[in-house]
Structure formats: C-alpha cells, structure tokens
C-alpha cells in the first residue's frame, strides 16, 4: 500500500463528488455532525449503531456487515472514500474495518471534516438516495486484528505502540481530555509499549504528515522495523489512525490494531501494567 | 445504557459542547477547562477546532466549539495550552488550572 492507493486529498475529492463508482461515507460516533451538514452525496455510517454489535462486546459480524452495506447501497466493486470528524479517528477505524472484511478499494479523505471546513469547501444537508445492493463481505482478515492473549504475549517481543496522549500513557489521565476521567479500568500502559501519540502523525489541520516525516517519527520513537507491530489506544479508533499510517502509508508488513485496547486490557485481572513515562520492563 | 452521559463516556467522540455539565461529573475530582472562543470583534465563534496541549506541547484532546462558541475539556491540575483553529483565524492561551471548573476566554484572529 502507499499514499496513492490509500489516501485522497480534499481538492481531488471536491473534483470527484459525482464520479460514478465512488461512494463518499462519513463515519462518526456522533452523527449529528453529518445531520448538520456533510460532503455532497455522502452517506453516513454510525460508528456505534452500525458497526458495533448491539448485545455482545464486539463489532458486527460478516453477515451484519454485508447487510449494512447492502442497505446503504454500497457494492463490492465501489471505491469507498471515508472521512469524518475527530481528525478522522472513526473514519480510520472504518477503513480498517472495510479492509478486515475484504473490501478492495477504500480511501481515506486526508484531513476529514476539519480540513474540508478550514478550506471552506461546500456542505449540504441533502440526504442522497442510493439503490440497495447485494454486498458480500469476505471472511474477516485477522492478520490485521489483535486480541488480548496475543497482546500479553507480545510484551517484550513485538512492537507495542501506545497511541494515546502522554498523560494517558503514564497513567495521569484515564481518557482523552474531552471526556470525564472517571473510568472503571486501571491507569497506565502495557509494559514495553512505546508512546507515540497518534497526533504525531497528523498536521494541525488533520492531514497526514509526509512519508519521510512519518518514518522519522516512528524510527526515533524506537519502532523496530524487523518486528511485528500491534497498535492500541483506549477503544481502538485512534490506534486505527496509527495502523493506517504504519500499514497503508508506510507499507509495513504485519501491523495489527488491538481494538479491545485499554478499556479491555486495563480491566483484565492479573496482567502487568506499567506506570510513568517510560515503556517499562517485560 | 441509554442516558446521554453513559453514551458519551463510552466512546471517544466529543460530547455536545454547549450542554450543561452532566450531573455524574464529580467536580471534587474532575479538572474542567471550559470557555468561549471569540473573534477580534468579540463575537462568539462556533465550529472552531479547539485543542488542548499538555505541558510539553503534545496534543491531548480536541473538540469543536458549539454554535455559541463554547468548549470544554476534562484535564488534570497543572499547565496546559488551549489552541483554536478556525476560518476566522487562530489563537492560543497558556493556562494553569486546578480541580473544579476553570473558565478561560480564547480570542482568534488572522495573523
């Protein structure tokens, strides 16, 4: 993968809003942003309502994902262009999700809503009507999804990348600072994880930094290119952003997103936790 | 889990910035940084991207100001920088905060 096959610019997107075979999809946890104005022609996917199982703590299965995309009018051979707020966190999560279920052509809109708005590009409140399709998701590709046991075994062995803010890594905060801090899980990070906040990979306007800058950031942080990598955050959406950088922009092999992330790990009985700004020992 | 507060706490999306503080927020424990974004003319700026940077200048959180220009963070006592980007320009302010509600005013202007 590379920038050319994974990312589109806002300028390109605005020129291609009506190109056949492209489907613009806004993905957010809070879809009131979409309702208040969105990129013309874009449909919405709700991170929680549409992508999480309503009962079990997991995301939707292959059949549910197929039904969702069929209902939204997305075909297997469409090119899906994802964007959203929160610096594309949830759009990156959806990108990872589309890849997990084997969708061939997916792109992220560089900068998401923020770049679009700062550029003063147009929004509409019109909801597009798309004809239903018959979408067939593939079996989930677990080569890009990490589970808890694998994460515990990766301590001191693989690259673990904690992409939360430095204060969350150290255990001084339990959640991103736009949320109340009282949480059930313990504070801290997975021992031996390096701290590379997702935000290091993004410019202030939400666009990704250049490949050269990105390679330097992760190299200097101590990411070992010869090892497999697992990225995590609190609920798996900021780490999707970093997964996207490492796998799709920098083309690293064997990068997984641990979507259970700190809400799961920090609640497990008996697993090791490191406190403070250093990675800690295995 | 149907209360808005529960939904907000479960995920990572920025909650409605103009809403009153949820009653579940314990101000004896939380350090709230809240305020208004205004332009050079003193008018409230909605839709500004307001970010909280920690003592080392690292990104910690970002919210979009409400139509009334309101933003809010849940941080910890100490030194922070609040920075806003908007179509009306940018602005930033260094703050020292303590537990409870800390109100600040942020002005954005074109450089």
For the segment B27-84, what is each residue's pLDDT rounded down to a tens digit? 778 899 999 999 999 999 999 999 999 988 989 889 999 999 999 999 999 999 999 9
Q: Which of A233, A235, A250, A274 is catalytic?
A: A233
Chains A, B: CB contacts within 8 A come to: 103
| Residue A233 is a catalytic residue | yes
Q: Which domains can be identified in chain B, with CATH numbers? A: 27-108 (2.60.40.1120)
* Secondary structure element (H or E) that encloses residue B82, with its range: strand B78-86
| Residue found under tokens 């515990």 | A152
Residue A151 structure tokens: 């994460």
Q: Give the largest Cα separation in chain B, rounded.
A: 46
The pLDDT of residue B1: 30
pLDDT at B6 over 80: no
- pLDDT under 50: residue ranges of chain A: none
**Which pLDDT band holds residue B20 (cuts at 50, 70, 90)?**
confident
CB B84 within 8 A of CB B110: no
Show me where the domains of chain A are located: 3-140, 144-265
The pLDDT of residue A86: 87
User: Cα dist. A200→A166, A187, B59 in Å?
Assistant: 11, 22, 8
List chain B residues with CB under 8 Å of A197: 58-59
For the segment A167-198, what is each residue's pLDDT rounded down to a tens digit? 899 998 888 777 777 676 899 999 999 999 99
Residue A38 Cα, gap to closest chain B Cα (Å): 14
The pLDDT of residue A182: 65
pLDDT at B14 over 70: no
| Phi and psi, residue A61, nearest 5° | -85, 180
The pLDDT of residue B9: 39
* Secondary structure element (H or E) that encloses residue B70, with its range: strand B70-75
The pLDDT of residue A29: 82
CB A173 within 8 A of CB A185: no
Spell out which chain A residues touch chain B, with contact meaning CB-CB distance below 8 angstroms. Answer: 28-30, 32-33, 47-48, 85-87, 89-90, 114, 117-118, 120, 165-167, 172-173, 175-183, 197, 199, 204-205, 234-235, 237-238
pLDDT at B4 over 60: no
Burial grade of A56 (CB within 10 A; 0-12, 13-18, 19 or more): exposed
- Which CATH number is A3-140 given? 3.40.250.10
Kindly tell me the sign of the dihedral angle through the C-alpha atoms of A112, A114, A116, A119: negative
The answer to whether B9 contacts A197, with C-beta atoms less than 8 Å apart, is no
pLDDT at B7 over 60: no
The pLDDT of residue A130: 96
Q: Could you say which DSSP state residue A258 is in? A: -
CB A29 within 8 A of CB A48: yes
d(CA A265, CA A149): 10
List chain A residues with CB under 8 Å of B8: 179-180
Residue B22 structure tokens: 């949820």
**Which pLDDT band holds residue B24 (cuts at 50, 70, 90)?**
confident
B81-108: average pLDDT: 94
Residue A234 structure tokens: 């609190």
Question: Are the folds of A3-140 and A144-265 the same?
Answer: yes
d(CA A24, CA A41): 7
The pLDDT of residue B85: 94
Residue B88 structure tokens: 């009306």
What ipTM is given for this predicted complex?
A: 0.78
**Residues A147, B3, A167, CA angle at the centre, nearest 5°?**
50
Q: Assign a CATH topology to domain A144-265.
A: Oxidized Rhodanese; domain 1 (3.40.250)
């Amino acid at each position: 993968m590379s920038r050319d096959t994974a990312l589109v610019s806002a300028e390109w997107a605005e020129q291609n809003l009506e190109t056949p075979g492209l489907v613009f999809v806004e993905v957010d946890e809070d879809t009131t942003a979409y309702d208040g104005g969105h990129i013309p022609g874009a449909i919405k996917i709700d991170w929680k309502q549409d992508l999480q199982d309503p009962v079990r703590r997991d995301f939707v299965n292959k059949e549910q994902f197929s039904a969702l995309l069929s209902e939204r009018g997305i075909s297997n051979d469409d090119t899906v262009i994802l964007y959203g707020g929160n610096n594309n966190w949830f759009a990156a999560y959806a990108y990872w999700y589309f890849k997990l279920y084997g969708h061939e052509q997916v792109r992220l809109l560089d900068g998401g809503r923020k770049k679009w708005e700062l550029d003063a590009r147009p929004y509409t409140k019109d909801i597009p009507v798309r004809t239903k399709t018959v979408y067939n998701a593939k079996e989930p590709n677990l080569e890009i999804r990490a589970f808890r046991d694998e994460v515990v075994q990766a301590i001191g062995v693989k690259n673990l990348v904690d992409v939360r803010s430095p204060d969350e890594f150290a255990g001084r905060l339990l959640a991103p600072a736009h949320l109340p801090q009282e949480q059930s899980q313990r504070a801290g990070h997975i021992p031996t994880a390096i701290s590379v906040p997702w935000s290091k990979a993004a410019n202030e306007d939400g666009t990704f930094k250049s490949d050269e800058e990105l390679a330097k950031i992760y190299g200097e942080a101590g990411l070992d290119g010869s090892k497999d990598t697992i990225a995590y955050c609190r609920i798996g959406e900021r780490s999707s952003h970093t997964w996207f950088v490492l796998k799709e922009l920098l083309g690293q092999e064997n990068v997984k997103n641990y979507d259970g992330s700190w809400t799961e790990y920090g609640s497990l009985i008996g697993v090791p936790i490191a406190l403070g700004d250093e990675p800690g020992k295995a | 889990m149907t209360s808005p507060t529960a939904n907000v706490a479960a995920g990572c999306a920025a909650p409605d910035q103009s809403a009153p503080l949820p009653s579940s927020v314990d101000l004896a424990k939380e350090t709230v940084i809240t305020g208004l974004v205004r332009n050079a003319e003193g008018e409230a700026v909605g839709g500004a991207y307001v970010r909280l940077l920690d003592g080392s200048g690292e990104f910690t959180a970002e919210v979009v100001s409400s139509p009334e220009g309101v933003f809010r963070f849940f941080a910890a006592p100490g030194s922070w920088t609040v920075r806003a980007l908007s179509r009306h320009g940018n602005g930033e302010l260094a703050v020292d905060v303590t537990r409870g509600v800390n109100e600040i005013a942020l002005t954005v202007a074109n450089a």
